[in-house]
Amino acid sequence: MQVDQKLIEKFFAGKCSADEACMVSKFLENQEHFEKHWDLEDWNAFKMKEELPEALSKKMNSEIISHIYDQKEARVKRLKYLAYAATIAVVVSVGLFVSLSGNKNTDLNVSTNKQKELIKEVAETIYKNDLAIKRSYTLPDGSIVELEPKSEISFLPFNQKRDIKLRGEALFRVHKDKARPFTVYGNNLATTALGTIFRVSAFANNKYTSVKLLEGKVVVKPQNILLNAGVKMVYLTPGKSFTVNMENYAAVVKDFAKPQETIIAKINKGSVLITESAMIFNNQPLSEVFKALEQKLNISIAYNPKLVNKKTFSGQYEFGRDDADEFLTTLTFINGLTVEKTEKGYVIRTR
The dihedrals phi and psi of 143, each to the nearest 5 degrees, come to: -65, 155
350/63 Cα distance (integer angstroms): 53
C-alpha torsion sign, points 215, 221, 226, 231: positive
pLDDT band at 89 (very low <50, low <70, confident <90, very high): very low
168, pLDDT greater than 90? yes
For the whole model, what pTM was predicted? 0.53
Instruction: Give the pLDDT confidence score for residue 190 in this predicted structure.
Output: 96
Q: Which residue has the higher pLDDT, 177 or 68?
A: 177
On whether the CB atoms of residues 184 and 173 are closer than 8 A, the answer is no
DSSP labels, 154-185: EE---SS-EEEEEEEEEEEEPPP-TTS-EEEE
Name the maximum alpha-carbon separation found in the chain: 80
User: d(Cα 91, Cα 69) in Å, to the nearest integer?
Assistant: 30
Euclidean distance between CA atoms 11 and 142, whole angstroms: 43
Residue bearing the bigger pLDDT, 177 or 66 = 177
**Rg (Cα) of the chain, in Å, rounded?**
26
How does DSSP classify residue 131?
S
Q: Which region among 66-80, 215-229, 282-296, 319-333 has the lowest average model confidence (pLDDT)?
A: 66-80
Q: Do 258 and 214 contact (CB within 8 A), yes or no?
A: yes
**Could you report the per-residue pLDDT of 13-52, keeping only the tens digit for each?**
777 777 787 777 777 766 566 556 555 455 445 555 455 5
Burial 62-86 (b: 16+ CB within 10 A, else e): ebbeebbeeeebbbebbbebbeebb
Strand-pairing partners, residue 252, are: 243
Segment 270-296, tens digit of pLDDT: 678 888 778 888 888 999 999 999 988
Q: Which of 204, 209, 200, 149 has its CA nearest to residue 173?
A: 200
Sheet of strand 337-341, all strands in order from the earlier edge strand to the far edge: 301-302, 346-350, 337-341
Question: Residue 167: pLDDT band by 50, 70, 90 thresholds?
Answer: very high
Bridging pattern class, strands 346-350 and 301-302: parallel
**Residue 18 per-residue DSSP state:** H
Q: Give the residue-averaged pLDDT of 242-257.
A: 93
Taking the C-alpha atoms of residue 110 and residue 91, their distance in angstroms, rounded to an integer, is 9
- How high is the pLDDT of residue 81? 43
Q: How many CA atoms lie within 13 A of 323 on its CB side?
A: 12
Is the confidence at residue 335, as pLDDT, over 60?
A: yes
pLDDT at 66: 45
Mean pLDDT of the chain: 77
Q: Report which residue type is found at 36.
A: K
**Dihedral over Cα of 249, 251, 257, 260: its sign:** positive
CA atoms within 13 Å, Cβ hemisphere of 221: 9
Tell me what percent of the chain is helix, strand and coil, each rounded to the nearest 5: 35, 30, 35
CB 316 within 8 A of CB 302: no
CB distance 166 to 200 below 8 Å: yes
How many other CB atoms are there within 10 angstroms of residue 34's CB atom?
19
Say how many Å lie between the first and final Cα of the chain, rounded: 66
Is the pLDDT confidence value at 64 over 70? no
Amino acid letter, residue 329: T
Give strand pairing partners of 234. 220
Structural domains for the chain: 5-121 (no CATH), 125-255 (2.60.120.1440), 263-350 (3.55.50.30)
- What pLDDT score does 67 carry? 46
- Of all residues in the chain, what percent carry a pLDDT higher than 70? 70
Could you tell me the pLDDT band of residue 8, with boundaries at 50, 70 and 90?
confident
Question: How confident is residue 346, by pLDDT bands cut at 50, 70 and 90?
Answer: very high
Count of residues making up the chain: 351
134-146: pLDDT as tens digits: 998 989 888 889 9
Give the CA distances from residue 324 to residues 148, 281, 287, 313, in Å, rounded to whole numbers and listed in that order.
28, 15, 16, 16
Mean pLDDT, rounded, for 161-178: 92
- Cα-Cα-Cα-Cα torsion 157, 162, 168, 170, nearest 10 degrees, comes to 110
Instruction: Supply the pLDDT for residue 122.
Output: 62
